[in-house]
C-alpha cells in the first residue's frame, strides 16, 4: 500500500496543503509549531479514521472554519483508490472509499495499516493500563476485523451492565436476574478477545527481542507480559465458562463499586527487562530502544498477518535517538521492506544527510 497523494483542507492549522509523495521515504521539515505532526496525524486518520493524539474530530477543524477534509490517492496492488474523510462541524464524520461511504468505521480499519513512533510512546510505559490496552487493541484490530467486532460488542455490553449497576445503587434496588442477562454476551465476546490477545502477545515477543538487540546492541532479555483475570483459569478448557464464574463471584463487589470489576476490560501489559519492570530498572536509552523495537515488531506482525506493509510514521525521531541510531533505524526499516516511511524533523540538512545515505527515493517537504 502506497500513499501517492494527500490533500488537506482546514485540518488543524493547515488551511490547504497538497503533497505528491515518494513511494519510499518522505520528510516534513520546519520549525516547531508549523504543523509537521499534524500532517502525520492526517495520515493516521487515513489508516484508522481518528487522531493518534486522542483529539475529538471537531477539535481538528481549523479555527473559524466549519469542516475539514483529508483526501488521498492510494496505490492498492494494481489499482488506485481514493480515500476521503470529511467532517462538518454540524454533523458526523464521513469516510469514503472511491465515493462510497462506509457504513461503519470498523469496515475501514485494516485497509491501510499504519504504525506511529512518536515522543508520546513513553506514555505506554508510564501511563495506566488503559493506554496499553488501547495499543494492544489497535495492533490486533488492524489485522482482524472479527476481533474489532467482538471488542466493540464487548465494550457496549459492559457499558450496559455498568449502567444497570448504577441504576440499582441510585434506586436502592437489585435484580440479580436482570444483571445476569449480560453474563453470556460478556463472557462469549470476552473469551474470544482474551484468546486472541494472549496468542498475539506470545508471537510478538521473540520479534521484540530481535529488534531490541539490533537497535540497542544490548544483550538484555526484554519481554511483553500479558496480564488478565482470565489467566487465573488458564487450566480451564472453556475460558467463557470461567469468565461467567468470575462475574458471578464478583456480584457483591460490583454492586458496591457500581461497575464491572472483573474482565478483559481490566487487562494490562507489563514490559520487562531481565524479568523486572523496564519502567523501574531500564535507563532512558533502554526504554526508548524497547519502545522502538515494540513498534517494529508491530509492523512485522501486521505484515505477516495481512500481507500488507504498514506505513511508518516517525514523529520527531531525532529527539529520541542520536543521528547514528536514526540512520540505523531507517536503514533497518528499508532493508526489512516494511513500507512507506514519513518523518518529521526540525533540521532540513540533518534529515537530508541521513535519508540520502539510505535511499535516493526520497522527498523532503518544507513546512
pLDDT tens, position by position, 316-335: 877 766 767 777 777 777 66
Q: In this structure, are residues 183 and 248 in contact, taking their beta carbons and an 8 Å threshold?
A: yes
Q: Binding-site residues for ATP, please?
A: 30-37
Distance between CA atoms of 215 and 168, rounded to whole angstroms? 54
Mean pLDDT confidence for 95-120: 90
State the pLDDT at residue 101: 93
Cell 512485522 belongs to 300
What confidence category does residue 288 fall into, taking pLDDT thresholds of 50, 70 and 90? confident
- The H or E element spanning position 276 is strand 276-277
Cell 542520536 belongs to 322
pLDDT tens, position by position, 155-182: 999 999 999 999 999 999 999 999 999 9
Helix/strand/coil for 249: helix
What confidence category does residue 26 fall into, taking pLDDT thresholds of 50, 70 and 90? very high
pLDDT at 118 over 80: yes
State the pLDDT at residue 353: 81
State the pLDDT at residue 237: 62
Domain boundaries, the chain: 114-307
pLDDT, greater one: 244 or 321: 244
Any idea which fold 114-307 has? Answer: Glutathione S-transferase Yfyf (Class Pi); Chain A, domain 2 (1.20.1050)
Q: In a 10 Å sphere around its CB, with 0-12 CB exposed, 13-18 middle and 19+ buried, how is residue 105 labelled?
A: middle
Average per-residue pLDDT in the chain? 90
pLDDT, greater one: 297 or 326: 297
DSSP character at residue 156:
H
- The H or E element spanning position 223 is strand 222-227
pLDDT at 235 over 90: no
Q: Which of 317, 263, 267 is nearest to 292 (CA)?
A: 317
What confidence category does residue 74 fall into, taking pLDDT thresholds of 50, 70 and 90? very high
Q: What is the pTM of this model?
A: 0.88
Q: Binding-site residues, please?
A: 30-37
State the pLDDT at residue 176: 93
Distance between CA atoms of 331 and 345, rounded to whole angstroms? 17
Q: In this structure, are residues 49 and 85 in contact, taking their beta carbons and an 8 Å threshold?
A: yes
What confidence category does residue 254 fall into, taking pLDDT thresholds of 50, 70 and 90? very high
pLDDT tens, position by position, 29-62: 998 889 999 999 999 999 999 898 878 899 999 9
State the pLDDT at residue 248: 93
Amino acid at each position: 500500500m502506497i500513499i501517492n497523494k494527500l490533500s488537506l483542507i482546514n485540518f488543524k492549522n493547515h488551511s490547504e496543503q497538497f503533497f505528491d509523495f515518494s513511494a519510499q521515504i518522505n520528510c516534513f521539515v520546519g520549525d516547531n509549531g508549523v504543523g509537521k505532526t499534524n500532517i502525520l496525524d492526517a495520515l493516521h486518520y487515513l489508516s484508522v479514521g481518528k487522531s493518534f493524539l486522542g483529539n475529538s474530530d471537531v477539535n481538528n477543524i481549523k479555527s473559524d472554519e466549519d469542516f475539514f477534509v483529508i483526501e488521498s490517492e492510494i496505490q492498492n496492488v494494481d489499482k488506485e483508490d481514493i480515500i476521503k474523510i470529511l467532517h462538518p462541524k454540524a454533523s458526523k464524520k464521513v469516510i469514503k472509499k472511491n465515493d462510497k461511504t462506509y457504513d461503519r468505521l470498523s469496515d475501514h480499519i485494516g485497509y491501510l495499516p499504519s504504525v506511529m513512533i512518536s515522543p508520546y510512546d513513553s506514555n505506554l510505559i508510564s501511563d495506566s493500563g488503559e493506554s496499553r490496552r488501547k495499543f494492544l487493541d489497535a495492533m490486533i484490530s488492524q489485522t482482524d476485523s472479527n476481533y474489532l467486532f467482538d471488542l466493540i460488542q464487548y465494550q457496549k455490553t459492559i457499558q450496559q451492565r455498568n449502567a444497570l449497576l448504577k441504576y440499582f445503587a441510585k434506586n436502592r434496588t437489585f435484580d440479580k436476574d436482570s444483571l445476569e442477562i449480560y453474563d453470556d454476551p460478556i463472557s462469549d465476546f470476552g473469551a474470544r478477545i482474551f484468546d486472541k490477545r494472549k496468542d498475539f502477545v506470545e508471537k510478538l515477543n521473540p520479534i521484540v527481542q530481535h529488534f531490541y538487540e539490533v537497535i540497542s546492541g544490548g544483550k538484555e532479555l526484554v519481554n511483553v507480559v500479558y496480564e488478565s483475570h482470565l489467566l487465573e483459569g488458564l487450566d480451564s478448557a472453556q475460558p467463557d465458562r470461567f469468565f461467567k464464574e468470575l462475574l458471578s463471584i464478583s456480584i457483591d463487589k460490583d454492586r458496591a463499586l457500581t461497575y464491572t470489576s472483573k474482565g478483559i476490560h481490566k487487562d494490562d501489559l507489563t514490559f520487562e527487562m531481565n524479568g523486572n519492570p523496564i519502567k523501574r530498572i531500564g535507563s532512558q536509552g533502554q526504554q526508548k530502544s524497547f519502545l522502538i523495537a515494540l513498534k517494529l515488531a508491530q509492523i512485522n506482525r501486521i505484515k505477516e498477518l495481512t500481507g500488507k506493509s504498514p506505513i511508518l510514521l516517525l514523529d520527531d525521531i531525532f529527539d529520541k535517538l542520536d543521528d547514528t541510531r536514526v540512520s540505523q533505524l531507517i536503514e533497518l526499516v528499508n532493508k526489512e521492506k516494511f513500507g512507506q516511511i514519513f518523518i518529521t524533523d526540525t533540521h532540513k540538512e540533518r534529515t537530508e544527510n541521513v535519508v540520502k545515505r539510505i535511499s535516493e527515493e526520497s522527498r523532503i517537504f518544507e513546512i
